[in-house]
Amino acid sequence: MRVLLVGAGGVGSAIIRIAARRGFFDHFVVADYDLARAQAAVAFLGGAEQRFSACRVDASDEAAVTRLLTERGCDVLMNATDPRFVLPLFNAALAAGSHYLDMAMSLSRPHPQDPYSACGVKLGDEQFERAEEWEQSGRLALVGMGVEPGLSDVFARYAADELFDEIEEIGIRDGADLAVAGHAFAPSFNIWTTIEECLNPPVIFQRERGWFTTEPFSEPEVFDFPEGIGPVECVNVEHEEVLLVPRWVGARRVTFKYGLGDDFIDKLKTLHALGLDSTELVTVPGEDGPVRVSPRDVVAACLPDPATLGDRMTGKTCAGTWVKGTKDGLPREVYLYHVVENQWSMREYGSQAVVWQTAVNPVVALELIATGVWTGPGVLGPEALPPLPFLDLLTAYGSPWGIREQGRTPAKGH
């Protein structure tokens, strides 16, 4: 298998560090708008590793990406860019006859009249509109295959297959106790994506109502996270799992809640109040005359790159799926989870915990595709495919997952 990886930032760099320890592929072409960044990501592996090469590509240029896939003979495009570039990369892979894999889906657009009650364009809608073309091509577009979405969706399918007869509710719950020394505000993940998902109207699914929206940061609840993280207040956030899980897993209700904290929420609200979350271009003075720039890109440029925070970061991050329902006629409630400690991921891979946890899952999925374990044409979410091979391989990568069941001690190392 030959892979074109587009995006050599924090997650992209972690992807190649993880993949370099595996033997399922022939070559990774690592492409980025910034050639020096792609070259640095490859150079980190050392001169003895010859299965990676670097090049430049503009992820917004569909034709250029299509040519690169064809010229380099790549079987699959792995998208490690932010969601703005999903559609050109997704379309380029289809045009080139390659498989496709991403970690975030095409962007939503709020309902123009009723944004906090009704859905407008939902996350992934523009990708699922081309599902029939992907089916006819015989190629797989595996969408939302990071950690959340991604592993969280695999957990949902595993729970439905193995742990429950009927499911009342599936709730993705994400929390951490990470701290970054020396920074008053230093998001551990891409701020462009963080602003997008946190300030957009969150989506909720209910079987009787379908998909609908609510106010940002609504329905706060305190969730007790495992492995010493403890209680964290979580709030509704727009996320792909709510759009993916109901397509393949039967549940009466599906939600996503993120442990952000009051300080983080207040800063996001301030950015919104000042218009600094906007992606619309504004004109600002420059040394050589007026320049056009989006406020959100300015915010991103002023904040530290999340990939560089690992040495100053301490703590753990937890991604997981809480499921409530019945088994053998009795009520059951479990939390399936994956915890990564920053000290471990930095020591083992030189990647901070949040980006490493995101990166490991698409590499596991890619290996399952390369070995023919995960197959199927069309636009599919992770929950459309068998969960056990994925979870077994994740453990084999040295990153076990766990189950916490009410009234029992959490089980780890499945």
Q: Would you state the pLDDT for residue 107?
A: 95
Q: Would you state the pLDDT for residue 46?
A: 93
Q: Give mean pLDDT, residues 88-98.
A: 98
Q: Over pLDDT 90: what percentage of the chain?
A: 80
Residue 408: is its pLDDT beyond 70? no
Q: Would you state the pLDDT for residue 411?
A: 56
Task: Find, among 397, 347, 322, 331, the residue nearest to 367 by Cα.
Answer: 397
Q: Give mean pLDDT, residues 91-110.
A: 97
Determine the residue type at 207. R
- Give the β-pairing of 411-412 and 230-236: unpaired
Higher pLDDT, 309 or 135: 135
Strand partners, 203: 213
Determine the residue type at 66. T
Q: How confident is the model at residue 290 (pLDDT cuts 50, 70, 90)?
A: confident
Residue 123: is its pLDDT beyond 90? yes
| CB-based burial label for 329 (10 Å; 0-12, 13-18, 19+) | exposed
Q: What is the mean pLDDT of the chain?
A: 93
Task: Find, among 374, 362, 387, the residue nearest to 18 by Cα.
Answer: 362
pLDDT digits (tens, 9 = 90+) for 182-231: 777 777 767 878 888 888 999 999 999 999 999 999 999 999 999 999 99
From the CA atom positions of the chain, what is the Rg in Å? 20
Q: What pTM was estimated for this model as a whole?
A: 0.92
Residue 412: is its pLDDT beyond 70? no
Q: Would you state the pLDDT for residue 291?
A: 87
Q: Would you state the pLDDT for residue 413?
A: 55
Q: Would you state the pLDDT for residue 391?
A: 98
| CB-based burial label for 195 (10 Å; 0-12, 13-18, 19+) | buried
Residue 302: is its pLDDT beyond 90? no
CA angle 398, 42, 178 (to 5 degrees): 50
Task: Find, among 294, 350, 318, 119, the residue nearest to 234 by Cα.
Answer: 318
SS3 content of the chain, % helix, strand, coil (to 5): 35, 25, 35
Higher pLDDT, 272 or 234: 234
Q: Give mean pLDDT, residues 22-35.
A: 97
Q: Give mean pLDDT, residues 333-348.
A: 97
Residue 414: is its pLDDT beyond 60? no
Lowest mean pLDDT among 29-38, 79-88, 307-316, 335-344: 307-316
pLDDT digits (tens, 9 = 90+) for 237-254: 999 999 999 999 999 999
Interatomic CA distance for residues 35 and 53, integer angstroms: 11
Interatomic CA distance for residues 315 and 319, integer angstroms: 14
Interatomic CA distance for residues 361 and 393, integer angstroms: 10
Beta-carbon contacts of 332 under 8 Å, excluding residues fewer than 6 positions away, are 163, 164, 324, 325, 326, 405
Beta-carbon contacts of 269 under 8 Å, excluding residues fewer than 6 positions away, are none
Q: Would you state the pLDDT for residue 325?
A: 97
Q: Give mean pLDDT, residues 300-325.
A: 88
Q: Would you state the pLDDT for residue 397?
A: 96
Residue 303: is its pLDDT beyond 70? yes
Q: Residue 87, Cβ neighbours under 10 Å: how many?
A: 17
